[in-house]
Amino acid sequence: MEIICKPYTSDDKEAVTAIWNDIVRDANAFPQEFPFTDEEGDAFFLSQKATTVAWAKGEIAGFYILHDNNVGRCSHMANASYSVSKKFRGCGVGKVLVSDSLAKAKQCGYRGLQYNAVVKSNYGAIALYLKLGFNIIGTIPGGYRKADGTFEDLLIFHKCL
């Protein structure tokens, strides 16, 4: 399956916001508790250093957002979040998105990419990040509150560019 990455535009807002909101509702990966409206999503996605969509079979299969991990003296490190449509999970979209974000981060002058909050039960993401050369640099015990009120550990990942 051919997967093509393109920059996000406001024309993508409905599909991208729907994918994001599915993950928010599942409550096992993203910290947000409430879904975006299409307009809120559009403003959020446009505010990033980069938002890139992955197209497959004529539709948006997923996307990523890329931005500074922190401000000022820490702004040379990137952070990213990835969203893959349930329909396209297990088809290689995540690998394409992470690989594209690494190239984009380097192009933007970042020195590394750090994930601050990977839920420990997100096995697919963890396996992919390790396969692509990321290192686990820390654990935040009970750092993620699940929808049922229980807590799960978060992992912190890093990769130099």
Q: What backbone torsions phi and psi does residue 105 show, to the nearest 5 degrees? A: -60, -45
For the stretch 40-55, pLDDT in tens is: 999 999 999 999 999 9
Residue 87 exposure: Cα atoms within 13 Å on the Cβ side: 10
Tell me the residue ranges of DSSP E strands in 2-44: 4-7
Mean pLDDT of the chain: 97
For the stretch 107-119, pLDDT in tens is: 999 999 999 999 9
pLDDT for 14 equals 98
Query: CA–CA separation, 115 vs 88, rounded Å?
Result: 22
Q: What backbone torsions phi and psi does residue 85 show, to the nearest 5 degrees? A: -60, 140
Query: CA–CA separation, 138 vs 147, rounded Å?
Result: 24
For the stretch 147-159, pLDDT in tens is: 999 999 999 999 9
pTM metric for this prediction: 0.96
Mapping DSSP to helix (H, G, I), strand (E, B) and coil, where does residue 108 land? coil
